[in-house]
Amino acid sequence: MIDECLREDHPTMKYDRAATTTDAPPGLSRRTLVGIAAAAVCGSALPLGADAIAYQPPPNPLANGRPQPSARRFRSKSVDAAVARMHRILDRPGTARRLATLFDNCYPNTLDTTVSVDTIGGRPDTFVITGDIDAMWLRDSAAQVEPYLRFAAQDAPLRQLIAGVVNRQTRCILIDPYANAFNRGPTGSPWASDKTEMKPELHERKFEVDSLCYAVRLAYAFWKATDDVGCFDADWRRASHVIVDTLSVMQRKSGLGPYRFQRVTDRAHDTAPNDGYGAPTRPIGLIASLFRPSDDACIFPFLIPSNMMAVVALRQLAEMHQTIAGDAAFAASTRAFADEVDAAIKVHAIVDHPRHGRVYAFEVDGFGSRLLMDDANAPSLIAAPYLGYCNADDGVYRNTRAMLLSPDNPWYYSGSAADGIGSLHTATGYIWPLAIIMRGLTSTDEVEIETTLRHLIATDGGTGFMHESFDKDDPTRFSRPWFAWANSLFGALVLKIMDEHPTVLRRL
């Protein structure tokens, strides 16, 4: 698996087989393993946090970093045309041309480097790795291909590729709805010793509510973008019922349910307390998520951003089953489920902050405990409008946003390179480009949008790509040189700015 992580054709690293290993021992994460391998290749020590690597920028940081056409895993005429158009729009020296190069590298990165397109039983099948980890996360894979949906109606090969992702996710959910990441086949996992019901098809089995929600989000967006219903067969309908049943079980109204997870590790946030069931909860209508979308353990299992996403996903699923499957009864019960979760958010997750007024909590437990923060990954509280849960001008959301983009959020960092939200998942003081991108995607203020874009342009570490995180004062120190989700989402932000705020691009 690590053999794929730092391939010879990767634009920022040279692969050295002697510097890598294929197995992660207990207590050493795959991300740490990749960081150590990359640091060894660079001839440098691993600085600061376990996920950070030192990186020496290439001599010409403006050089195009895309693989050569013959080395690309998938080529889309529509995506290549979008890249060419962006070059024409930004064809002037300085920051604009640098943005053009970043867009050229980043926007097609998922297609260039992470997809494997095939068929199973005559139906499209697409396996999508995250980048430097050779496994398919339900969340990441959906988010990686979503930015291409704008072209899917007119681009038949691209439409088939995305249909293949929907089909693969359906099969994954039917294998195990509690798993977050899957292998290409029944190959086993370095986490096979985790104390949970591992199967050989699973890469990791951390239950994260958003994993199921992202599968619904992609299927719904694909349907709306293309009117193609070929994915929505009997298996998809069965997987839909599994999704709803699993989320219902995790409301824990009738006990803790069947899912539990423990790992032998020296990282407390890589395992669940309370004999693997997570912290205690009181049944209040919310859905328990033992892990965040960062793959880190929740402190209080009712993770509000994921419950917000569940409200939206359940309503989307209801609409699809009403319209496509003609199943009015399932649609009605699914809508009622969404309404129940939404009502519980409004009762239990909106709390008083001493400086910011009424805000959304990040996690609650049903006993009155709440955690006020945000994490860099998505779903996040910042991402609520992006998820479709609320409008950007909603009063509680605006108060929450002000809290999260301030020192009142313990994971908010301000440095000489940029300011933004970091995560328990990475080193202290490291900001995530995903969080900066999400800030731009959910902003209605052109000054803020331009600031986020300039921060992203300035913090690629000289590589021409986005990363998982970077040092707030030195963006040449970053984690994960090949993180396709951040690259794709950066491309989506640039396209949104081009569509809705073209003056921002003209000011660069």
Interval 100-116: pLDDT, tens: 999 999 999 999 999 99
pLDDT at 64: 75
Q: Which amino acid is at 449?
A: I
Percent of the chain with pLDDT strictly greater than 90: 87
> For the chain, what is the domain count?
1
Structure tokens at 411: 């994971």
Q: Does some domain include residue 454?
A: yes
pLDDT at 277: 98
Q: Does some domain include residue 326?
A: no
Mean pLDDT of 86-90: 95
Least confident of 54-68, 122-136, 238-252: 54-68
Q: Does some domain include residue 140?
A: no
Of 143, 264, 276, 290, the residue nearest 209 (C-alpha)? 290
Of 284, 289, 283, the residue nearest 304 (C-alpha)? 289
Residue 366 scores a pLDDT above 90: yes
Query: Model confidence at 5, in pLDDT bands (50, 70, 90)?
Result: very low
pLDDT at 63: 56
Residue 500 scores a pLDDT above 70: yes
Q: Does some domain include residue 476?
A: yes
pLDDT at 2: 28
Are residues 461 and 470 in contact, defined by beta-carbon separation less than 8 angstroms? yes
Are residues 491 and 107 in contact, defined by beta-carbon separation less than 8 angstroms? yes
Q: How many residues does the chain have?
A: 508
Q: Is the peptide bond before 379 cis (omega within 30 degrees of 0)?
A: yes
Domain span holding position 499: 44-113+419-508
Are residues 173 and 239 in contact, defined by beta-carbon separation less than 8 angstroms? yes
Q: Does some domain include residue 467?
A: yes
Mean pLDDT of 10-24: 28
Residue 126's DSSP bridge partners are 117
Q: What is residue 464's DSSP assignment?
A: S
pLDDT at 65: 86
Q: Does some domain include residue 76?
A: yes
- Report the side by side order of strands in the sheet with 474-479: 53-54, 474-479, 469-471, 430-431
Q: Does some domain include residue 259?
A: no
